[in-house]
Each structure stands twice: as C-alpha cells, then as structure tokens.
Amino acid sequence: MPTALITGATAGIGAAFARRLAADGFSLVLVARDERRLVSVAEELRLRYGVSSEVLAADLVTDEGLEAVERRLHEGVDLLVNNAGFGHRGHFLDVPVEEELRMLKLHCEAVLRLTLAALPGMRERDRGAVINVASVAAFFTRGSYSSSKAWVVNFSESTAMEMAGSRVRVMALCPGFVHTEFHERASMDKSGIPEFFWLSADNVVREAMRDLARGVRVSVPDLRYKVIVRVGKLLPLGLIGQFSRRLARHR
C-alpha cells in the first residue's frame, strides 16, 4: 500500500487531498499543529475509507516541528503534499516582520526541507511524487505572499528538472480562490469576491491528481484560472500590479 504524507491536513485543500488519497487506497501520514483535530480527521477517514492514518502533530514554523516531519520522511513515503500555509490580511508594510518571517519559514524553508527529505528515497526507488501547493498569486505581484508562492513554483519546476529521466515527479499546484478556512483564519473579507471565482477543494485536488499523472509540472486547476494566468503573462507589469491591488482590497 502506498503512503502519502500531507501537511496542513485537517482542513481545506489538505483535507481534500486526504479524502482523495484515502479513497485511492493510500496509507496516510497527517501533519498539522492541532493533534486533537488530527485524531478526529484520522478517525473519520478510517470509518469512511478503511485506511490507516498516522498522526504527526508538528508546527512547521519551528525547527523542532520540521525535524520531526523530516525524520518521518526519511523512513520513506510515496507522495508528499506540501500544503500547509497561511496569509496576511494587512499590506506588506503593515505586517510585523516576525509574521513575514513565519510565512517565509512555512512557505519556503519548510517546502525546501521536506522536499529534500523525501526525494532521496524516491530517487533510490525510482518512484514517487511531490506536490507543492502554491497559488495563482504566484503569477501576480502582491506582497510577500505572492513572492513566497512564486518561489514555490520556481523551486518545484527546478526540482522537477533535476528529477528528469526518473519516474519521480515534482509539481507545483496553483489554485485560485478556494472555499477553505484560509480566509477566515487571516480575517480576510470574502464578500467582494464574485462566486464565479470560487473553486471547491475537492475539484482542485481532482485536477491536481490528474495533472500529476500526466506529468504536468505547474498545475493551474480550472479553465477560468488557466485563462487568467495566460492573460496575465501577456499584460504589462504595471497593469498586473493594478489588478493585484484591486484584488487585495477584497482579501
């Protein structure tokens, strides 16, 4: 039975990955900060899908938390989903530097270290995959969140190139607005975002798994966001900045 380790596994896209992979017969390692919630999610998955779920409570903005997950990855997994992340409500200059550093620790250092912990075993077995959850924000310019997600995309593409010639795949997943707890946790106002732009976490994961099987290196779920990203690459940087500022007012 293959094993998947998912960070940020108790809600949103992480929980959707857990459901999908459990349905596909994966044994799961669920990682998040809240151990009680992890145990609850693991029990739900056991009852619904009959799969075993290992619970690993770890705060990935701490070295202790990262080291705990690294040790588990050294034991070997077949799929790593680096999903844990958060956003800031305020503008860059209004956010305390400590919070900005926490974001970089989670979005960049954690993704780097956990990917590096998983890949050697995958390469030795010549099978496995890493999905790094980024965002459509990676293709636009708005503060450290989009900057950190742009790093995730570039890092994933670069690492995928390093794995070329093997059966190990690395993919960046770049969803748009998704109905999750993300915005509530960051105290972001969702009221100004039209329903047209919202995606479901389960649909995002379904498209992600399809793209992973096809060998796609940067997955942008849903045709609406594929068009937005494609058009965004053709627009002048100043115009993209104006669009990003308008979008940020609704975050």
| 49 catalytically annotated | no
- What are the backbone dihedrals phi and psi of residue 2, each rounded to the nearest 5 degrees, phi first? -70, 155
From 2, 102, 7, select the one nearest 52 (Cα to Cα): 2
Determine the Cα–Cα distance for residues 5 and 17; give it in Å rounded to an integer.
Answer: 10
Determine the Cα–Cα distance for residues 220 and 104; give it in Å rounded to an integer.
Answer: 22
Q: List the catalytic residue out of 145, 151, 155, 182.
A: 145
Name the CA dihedral angle for 225, 234, 140, 202, rounded to a multiple of 10 degrees.
10
Determine the Cα–Cα distance for residues 105 and 25; give it in Å rounded to an integer.
Answer: 32
* C-beta separation of 106 from 82 below 8 A: no
Determine the Cα–Cα distance for residues 80 and 61; give it in Å rounded to an integer.
Answer: 18
Determine the Cα–Cα distance for residues 129 and 162; give it in Å rounded to an integer.
Answer: 13
* C-beta separation of 3 from 30 below 8 A: no
Active site residues: 145
